[in-house]
C-alpha cells in the first residue's frame, strides 16, 4: 500500500567550479559542469496523492516541477495517480543557484518517496532533464562528478568528494535575474574546448588530493574563459580583493549573477581574511555574505 | 554542434611517460610525440571537411611526423604521400615503405637556386593538385597542431600539479607553443624556455648549416608563436649530444638529441631555481641515433666533442650574434620582429611604453602584414571561426579552398592577415579571368573576407582592406578599383565596407540566394 504522502528535498548551489565542453571515453564531446553545492539552500517538496490523474502544484509558477512530477509518475508508478505538490524553497531565483533544478529534483524525489521506489540516480536525472532541459550535479553529494547538464549523464566520477570550501558570496547584479533557459549555450571555440582538458586534469588532481589551492586555479580559469558568454560586472574588482586576502580562487554562476571568492577552511587565517575581504567588498559597494563550511555543516545537521 | 570523428586506436602511444629526474624536475618522455598532433590534425581535417574517407594525405616530412601519419593512415584506411629529401633516415625510410607510404625524395640540386624546403613544397603542391580528395595536414601552419597538446597539458597538470617552468625543443612550434598556451590558462606566470641550436633562424640566428634533425630549417613556421617564450637557449650539437648521454647514463632514458638538449637546459634551470616544478619535453626515443649520437666513432668527428662544452649558458645581448657555445637570451614574450627591431617588452624595460606607441602608429609597426597563401593552405585558416549568424554569408574554408585548388593561382590570390604573428583574417583577391561578371576589367575584386571571431573588434576588417589596397598599388599599378559584393541582408559586412572606405556603386548583383550590393573603392590616380 502507498502512504498518502511523500517528501523530497534537494539542495541549491553557488554556481559552478568548472563549466565547459568535455570528451567522454568514446571521444565524443558534451557540455558539462561541476557545481559548488550549497547545502543550506534547499527546496522541499511534499506530494499528496489525490483521486484522479491530475497533478497540481503550489506555488503555481513552479510549472517545471509539476511537469517533473507528472513525468516521474508516468515513468515509475505502476498505477497512474494524481496528486498535489507543494514546494517550499529558500533558494534565490535567477541568480544561477539552481533554484529551478532543486524544485524539479525535490518534486521527483517526493513522488518517488510516495511510490516507495528507489531508481538509479541516472534515471532520476533523465526525468529531471526531460522536465527542465538542463540540470546540475547536486544530486551527487558523496562523490564529485563532472556532469553533462543538458543530457543528464555523468561524464566522469571523481575518486573523492569535493574538499570543504569557505566562500564569500557576491551578487554582481542584484537587480537583474537571468533566465537560464533563454540563455544561448556558449559557443566555445576549438581552442577553448581544448583548454578545458587541462582544467579537467587539474580538477581531477585537486579532488583526489583535496587540494583547494589547485581547485581555485581551475575555477578561476573557468570563470575567465566563460566571462565572454555571460559577463559579470566588476569581476576584476572582486578578484583583486580576493588576491589581497589570500583567496584560493574565484568561481561564478555560468547561468546567473553570483560570484564566489573561495577560501581554504584549513587555513588558520581564513576567518580573519574573509572578514577583511568582506569589509573591503562592502566599501567597494558590494553586498557580500560569508558562507563558511562550518555553518553549512551545522545547518545540515539540524 | 559537436561532431567529432575519433581516431583513437593508437591513443595509448600518444602521451609520454612522466619521469621524475630530480626534486621538482620532471621529464615528459615520448615514444613518438608527433602521433598526438598527427591524430588530432586528421580528426579535425575530417571535421572541417578537408579529409574524405579513403582520401590521400600528402605531407612534406623527413622526420617523425611522416611516421606518425603513416601509422594512422594504416589504421584508418588513408593513402599517404610523403615528399622528403636526402636527410630521411634509411631505417625510417624502410619502415615507411613497409607501411605502404609513397615516398618521393627530392634532390637538392633544384633549378633557380631554390632551397630544398621550397623544392619539397613545390613538389607537394603538384601532388595536391593531381590527386583528388587529397589533404595536406601542414603541420607548420595548421592551428590544430598546437591545439593537439591540450591533452598533453591535461596529463601534465594531473601528474605534476602546479608547473612553474616548461622547457623543450622547437621545430614546428606545435608542442612548446601549444602546451605553454594551455598551461598559462591555469598558471599565467609559467616560464617557457625554448631550446634551439646556432644557425637556426627560428629565434633570430643568421641562417647556416644545422646538423641536428628536428631543429632549425630555413623557414620560420607560422606555428612558432614567439610571444610564448620567456627565454631562448642555443646549444651546439656537441652540447646536445652530451646532454643526451647524461640523460641516458644518469637516468636510464634512451632519447634523441633534442631531448638531451632540453634535459641539459632543464637540469640547469632546476638547479638555479630550487623549489620550482620544471617539466622538460623529450620528443622521441634514441633508436634512430644508434649509429650517430650513440656511436663513439661518429661522435669523435663532431666539432668540439668532447672538449668544448659549456656547463652553463652565457647570457647574450642579441640573438643575431655568432654563437660558439651554450647561450641564452631573455626573449620576454615578444614577437620575432619585435626582438629584431630591439623593441623591449614591458616586463623587461621601463621605457618600453613610449617605444611601443611610436612604433605602433603604422600597420607595419603594429606587426600587421599580408602573407600570400598557396591554394592548398586550407588548414591555415580553419581556426578562423565565425559567429553562427555570420556563417550564413561566408563560405567555409573547405568550400573556398575546394574552388581555389582548381583555379589558376595567377588570377586568384589568397592572403592571410597576420598581426603580431597571429593569423587573424583571410581574403581572396580576383583579377582578369577570375573576375565575376559584375566587375569591370580595370578592377580587382575582394572575396571571402573573414576575421576570426576571437580577433573581431580590433579594426582588423579595415586593416584587411587597407592591406589589400596596398598590395594592389604595389603589385598591380594598372588597377584603379577594388570592388566587393555584399549580401543585402549582411548589415555588419556592409557597415564594415563603408567604414573601410568602400562606396556604393548603385549596382546590384542577383547572387545565388539573395541580391548583393556592389561597392567600390577608387584607388589613388596615377
The domains of chain B, with CATH numbers, are 11-33+144-340 (3.40.50.1100), 53-132 (3.40.50.1100), 368-522 (3.40.630.30)
Q: Would you call A184 an interface residue with chain B, using a CB distance cutoff of 8 Å?
A: no
Same domain? For A85 and A176 the reply is no
Q: What is the Cα–Cα distance from B427 to B451, expressed in whole angstroms?
A: 9
Structural domain ending residue among the three candidates A156, A184, A216: A156
- Alpha-carbon gap: A34 to the closest alpha carbon of chain B (Å): 17
DSSP lists the bridge partners of residue B220 as none
Q: What is the Cα–Cα distance from B201 to B224, expressed in whole angstroms?
A: 12
How sure is the predictor about A176, in pLDDT bands with cuts at 50, 70 and 90? confident
Structural domain ending residue among the three candidates A126, A156, A186: A156
Between vectors from CA B416 to CA B413 and to CA B422, what angle results, nearest 5°? 170
The CATH number of residue A241's host domain is: 3.30.70.890
- For chain A, the distance separating the N- and C-terminal CA atoms, rounded to the nearest angstrom, is 31
- Looking at residue A3, its pLDDT comes to 63
Same domain? For A46 and A105 the reply is yes
Average pLDDT rounded to a whole number, residues A6-19? 94
All 3 cell numbers of residue B153? 597539458
Do residues B429 and B446 make contact, with C-beta atoms less than 8 angstroms apart? yes
Asked if pLDDT for residue A30 goes beyond 90, the answer is yes
All 3 cell numbers of residue B394? 561566408
Asked if pLDDT for residue A142 goes beyond 80, the answer is no
Q: What is the Cα–Cα distance from B182 to A192, expressed in whole angstroms?
A: 9
Q: What is the Cα–Cα distance from A20 to A22, expressed in whole angstroms?
A: 7
Collapsed DSSP state (helix, strand, coil) of residue B128: helix
Same domain? For A152 and A215 the reply is no
Chain A residues within 8 A of B182 when measuring between CB atoms: 194-195, 197-198
Which residue spans within B160-222 are E strands per DSSP?
165-169, 191-196
Q: What is the Cα–Cα distance from A133 to A150, expressed in whole angstroms?
A: 6
For residues B5 and A168, the model is more confident at A168
Same domain? For A18 and A95 the reply is yes
Candidates B157, B159, B379: best to mutate against A (most CBs of A within 10 A) is B157
Q: What is the Cα–Cα distance from A243 to A257, expressed in whole angstroms?
A: 21
Same domain? For A143 and A208 the reply is no
Same domain? For A123 and A18 the reply is yes
Q: Would you call A39 an interface residue with chain B, using a CB distance cutoff of 8 Å?
A: no
Burial B360-389 (b: 16+ CB within 10 A, else e): eeeeeebbbbbeebbbbbbbbbbbbbbeee
Q: Cis link prior to A101 (omega < 30° from 0)? A: no
Same domain? For A138 and A206 the reply is no
Asked if pLDDT for residue A184 goes beyond 50, the answer is yes
User: Hey, are the CB atoms on A198 and B6 less than 8 Å from each other?
Assistant: no
If 0-12 CB within 10 Å is exposed, 13-18 middle and 19+ buried, where does residue B312 land? exposed
- Looking at residue B208, its pLDDT comes to 82
B115-171 tens-digit pLDDT? 777 888 899 999 999 999 999 999 999 999 999 999 999 999 999 999 999 999 999
CB nearest to B154's CB, from A197, A209, A211: A197
The residues near B317 (Cβ < 8 Å, ≥ 6 apart) are none
- Looking at residue A300, its pLDDT comes to 44
Alpha-carbon distance values, A277 to A16, A85, A234 (Å): 21, 42, 15
User: Hey, are the CB atoms on B150 and A189 less than 8 Å from each other?
Assistant: no
All 3 cell numbers of residue B111? 633549378
- Looking at residue B407, its pLDDT comes to 87
Same domain? For A228 and A129 the reply is no
Determine phi and psi for A14, rounding to 5 degrees.
Answer: -110, 55
Burial A127-154 (b: 16+ CB within 10 A, else e): bbbbbbebbbbbbbeeebbbbbbbbbbb
Q: What is the Cα–Cα distance from B323 to B237, expressed in whole angstroms?
A: 12
Residue listed under C-alpha cell 617552468: B165
- Looking at residue B526, its pLDDT comes to 47
Same domain? For A187 and A271 the reply is yes
> H/E element holding A37?
strand A29-50
The CATH number of residue A101's host domain is: 3.30.230.10
Same domain? For A149 and A13 the reply is yes
Q: What is the Cα–Cα distance from B206 to B203, expressed in whole angstroms?
A: 9
CB nearest to A205's CB, from B143, B157, B387: B157
User: What ipTM does this complex have?
Assistant: 0.91
User: Quick one: which of B236, B237, B272, B266 has its CA closest to B253?
Assistant: B266
Q: What is the Cα–Cα distance from A270 to B507, expressed in whole angstroms?
A: 69
If 0-12 CB within 10 Å is exposed, 13-18 middle and 19+ buried, where does residue B202 land? buried
- Looking at residue B249, its pLDDT comes to 98
DSSP string, B24-78: TEEEEE-SBTTHHHHHHHHHHHHHHT-S-TT-EEEEE-SSHHHHHHHHHHHHHT-
Collapsed DSSP state (helix, strand, coil) of residue B135: strand
Alpha-carbon distance values, B106 to A136, B79, B88, B324 (Å): 58, 20, 11, 32
Do residues B163 and B157 make contact, with C-beta atoms less than 8 angstroms apart? yes
Characterise B312 by phi-psi region: left (phi > 0), alpha (psi -120 to 50), beta (else).
beta
pTM, two decimals, is 0.92
Ordered per-residue pLDDT tens for chain B, 526 residues:
567 778 999 999 999 999 999 999 999 999 999 999 999 999 999 999 999 999 999 999 888 999 999 999 999 999 999 999 888 988 999 999 999 999 999 987 555 555 777 888 899 999 999 999 999 999 999 999 999 999 999 999 999 999 999 999 999 999 999 999 999 999 999 999 999 999 999 999 998 877 776 666 667 999 999 999 999 999 999 999 999 999 999 999 999 999 999 999 999 999 999 999 999 999 999 999 999 999 999 999 999 998 899 999 999 999 999 999 999 999 999 999 999 988 665 444 444 444 444 444 567 777 899 999 999 999 999 999 998 888 889 999 999 999 998 888 899 999 999 999 999 999 999 999 999 999 999 999 999 999 999 999 999 999 999 999 999 999 999 999 999 999 999 999 999 999 999 999 999 998 778 899 999 999 875 4
Chain B residues within 8 A of A28 when measuring between CB atoms: 2, 4, 6
Asked if pLDDT for residue A297 goes beyond 70, the answer is no
Determine phi and psi for A88, rounding to 5 degrees.
Answer: -125, 130
Same domain? For A275 and A222 the reply is yes
Instruction: Count the domains in chain A.
Output: 2
Residue listed under C-alpha cell 634523441: B256
All 3 cell numbers of residue A79? 498505477
Alpha-helical regions (H) of B84-228: 90-98, 116-130, 144-147, 150-160, 174-186
Same domain? For A41 and A101 the reply is yes
Domain extent at residue A70: 5-156
Nearest residue in A to B146, CA atom: A191
- Alpha-carbon gap: A173 to the closest alpha carbon of chain B (Å): 26
Chain A stretch 8-27, residues whose beta carbon is closer than 8 A to a beta carbon of chain B: 21, 26-27
All 3 cell numbers of residue A68? 517533473
Structural domain ending residue among the three candidates A156, A187, A211: A156
Select the highest-mean-pLDDT range: A46-55, A75-84, A204-213: A204-213
Q: What is the Cα–Cα distance from B518 to B516, expressed in whole angstroms?
A: 6
Give the number of other Cβ atoms within 10 Å of residue B458's Cβ: 12
Amino acid at each position: 500500500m502507498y502512504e498518502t504522502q511523500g517528501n523530497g528535498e534537494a539542495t541549491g548551489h553557488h554556481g559552478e567550479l568548472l563549466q565547459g565542453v568535455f570528451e567522454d571515453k568514446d571521444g565524443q564531446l558534451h557540455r558539462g559542469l561541476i557545481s559548488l553545492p550549497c547545502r543550506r539552500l534547499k527546496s522541499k517538496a511534499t506530494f499528496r496523492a489525490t483521486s484522479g490523474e491530475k497533478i497540481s502544484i503550489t506555488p503555481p509558477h513552479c510549472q517545471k516541477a509539476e511537469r517533473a512530477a507528472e513525468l516521474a509518475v508516468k515513468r515509475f508508478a505502476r498505477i497512474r495517480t494524481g496528486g498535489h505538490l507543494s514546494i517550499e524553497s529558500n533558494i534565490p531565483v535567477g541568480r544561477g543557484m539552481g533554484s529551478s533544478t532543486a524544485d524539479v529534483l525535490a518534486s521527483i524525489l517526493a513522488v518517488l518517496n510516495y511510490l516507495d521506489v528507489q531508481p538509479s540516480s541516472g534515471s532520476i536525472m533523465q526525468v529531471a532533464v526531460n522536465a527542465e532541459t538542463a540540470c546540475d550535479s547536486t544530486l551527487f553529494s558523496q562523490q564529485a562528478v563532472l556532469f553533462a547538464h543538458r543530457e543528464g549523464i555523468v561524464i566522469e566520477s571523481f575518486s573523492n568528494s569535493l574538499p570543504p570550501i569557505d566562500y564569500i558570496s557576491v551578487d554582481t547584479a542584484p537587480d537583474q535575474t537571468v533566465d537560464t533557459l533563454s540563455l544561448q549555450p556558449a559557443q566555445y571555440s576549438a581552442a577553448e574546448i581544448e583548454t578545458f582538458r587541462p582544467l579537467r586534469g587539474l580538477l581531477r588532481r585537486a579532488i583526489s588530493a583535496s587540494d583547494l589551492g589547485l581547485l581555485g586555479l581551475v575555477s578561476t580559469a573557468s570563470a575567465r574563459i566563460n566571462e565572454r558568454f555571460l559577463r559579470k560586472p566588476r569581476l576584476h574588482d572582486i578578484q583583486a580583493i580576493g588576491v589581497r586576502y589570500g583567496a584560493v580562487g574565484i568561481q561564478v554562476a555560468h547561468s546567473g549573477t553570483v560570484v564566489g571568492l573561495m577560501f581554504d577552511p584549513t587555513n588558520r587565517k581564513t576567518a580573519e581574511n574573509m572578514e577583511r575581504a568582506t569589509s573591503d567588498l562592502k566599501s567597494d559597494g558590494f553586498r557580500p555574505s560569508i558562507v563558511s563550511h562550518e555553518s553549512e555543516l551545522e545547518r545540515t545537521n539540524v | 554542434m559537436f561532431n567529432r570523428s575519433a581516431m583513437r586506436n593508437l591513443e595509448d602511444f600518444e602521451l609520454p611517460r612522466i619521469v621524475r629526474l630530480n626534486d621538482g624536475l620532471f621529464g615528459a618522455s615520448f615514444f613518438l610525440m608527433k602521433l598526438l598532433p598527427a591524430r588530432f590534425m586528421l580528426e579535425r581535417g575530417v571535421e572541417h571537411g578537408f579529409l574524405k574517407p579513403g582520401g590521400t594525405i600528402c605531407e612534406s616530412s623527413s622526420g617523425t611526423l611522416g611516421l606518425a601519419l603513416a601509422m594512422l593512415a594504416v589504421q584508418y584506411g588513408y593513402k599517404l604521400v610523403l615528399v622528403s629529401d636526402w636527410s630521411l633516415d634509411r631505417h625510417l625510410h624502410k619502415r615507411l615503405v613497409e607501411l605502404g607510404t609513397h615516398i618521393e625524395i627530392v634532390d637538392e640540386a633544384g633549378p633557380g637556386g631554390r632551397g630544398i624546403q621550397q623544392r619539397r613544397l613545390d613538389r607537394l603542391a603538384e601532388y595536391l593538385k593531381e590527386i583528388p580528395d587529397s589533404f595536406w595536414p601542414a603541420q607548420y601552419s595548421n592551428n590544430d597542431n598546437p591545439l593537439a597538446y591540450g591533452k598533453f597539458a591535461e596529463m601534465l597538470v594531473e601528474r605534476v600539479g602546479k608547473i612553474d617552468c616548461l622547457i623543450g625543443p622547437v621545430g614546428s612550434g606545435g608542442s612548446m607553443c601549444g602546451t605553454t598556451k594551455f598551461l598559462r590558462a591555469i598558471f599565467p606566470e609559467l616560464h617557457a624556455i625554448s631550446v634551439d641550436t646556432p644557425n637556426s633562424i627560428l629565434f633570430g640566428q643568421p641562417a647556416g648549416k644545422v646538423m641536428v634533425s628536428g631543429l632549425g630549417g630555413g623557414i620560420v613556421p607560422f606555428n612558432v608563436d614567439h610571444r610564448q617564450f620567456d627565454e631562448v637557449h642555443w646549444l651546439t650539437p656537441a652540447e646536445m649530444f652530451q646532454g643526451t648521454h647524461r640523460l641516458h647514463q644518469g637516468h636510464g632514458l634512451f632519447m634523441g638529441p633534442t631531448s638531451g638538449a632540453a634535459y641539459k637546459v632543464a637540469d640547469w634551470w632546476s638547479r638555479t631555481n630550487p623549489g620550482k616544478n620544471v617539466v622538460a619535453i623529450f620528443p622521441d626515443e634514441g633508436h634512430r641515433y644508434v649509429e650517430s649520437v650513440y656511436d663513439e666513432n661518429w661522435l669523435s668527428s663532431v666539432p668540439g666533442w668532447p672538449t668544448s662544452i659549456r656547463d652553463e649558458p652565457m647570457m647574450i645581448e642579441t640573438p643575431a650574434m655568432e654563437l660558439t657555445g651554450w647561450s641564452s637570451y631573455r626573449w620576454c614574450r615578444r614577437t620575432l620582429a619585435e626582438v629584431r627591431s630591439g623593441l623591449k617588452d614591458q616586463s623587461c624595460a621601463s621605457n618600453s611604453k613610449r617605444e611601443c606607441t611610436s612604433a605602433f602608429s603604422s600597420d607595419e609597426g603594429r606587426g600587421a602584414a599580408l602573407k600570400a597563401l598557396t591554394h592548398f593552405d586550407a588548414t591555415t585558416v580553419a581556426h578562423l571561426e565565425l559567429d553562427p549568424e555570420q556563417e550564413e554569408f561566408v563560405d567555409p574554408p573547405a568550400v573556398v579552398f575546394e574552388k581555389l585548388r582548381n583555379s589558376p593561382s595567377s588570377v586568384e590570390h589568397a592572403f592571410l592577415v597576420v598581426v603580431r604573428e597571429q593569423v587573424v583574417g583571410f581574403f581572396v583577391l580576383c583579377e582578369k579571368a577570375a573576375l565575376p561578371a559584375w566587375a569591370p576589367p580595370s578592377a580587382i575584386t575582394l572575396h571571402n573576407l573573414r576575421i576570426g571571431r576571437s580577433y573581431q573588434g580590433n579594426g582588423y576588417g579595415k586593416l584587411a582592406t587597407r592591406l589589400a589596397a596596398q598590395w594592389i598599388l604595389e603589385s598591380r599599378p594598372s588597377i584603379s578599383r577594388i570592388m566587393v559584393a555584399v549580401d543585402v541582408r549582411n548589415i555588419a559586412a556592409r557597415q564594415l565596407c563603408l567604414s573601410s572606405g568602400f562606396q556604393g556603386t548603385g549596382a546590384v548583383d542577383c547572387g545565388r540566394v539573395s541580391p548583393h550590393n556592389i561597392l567600390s573603392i577608387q584607388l589613388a590616380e596615377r
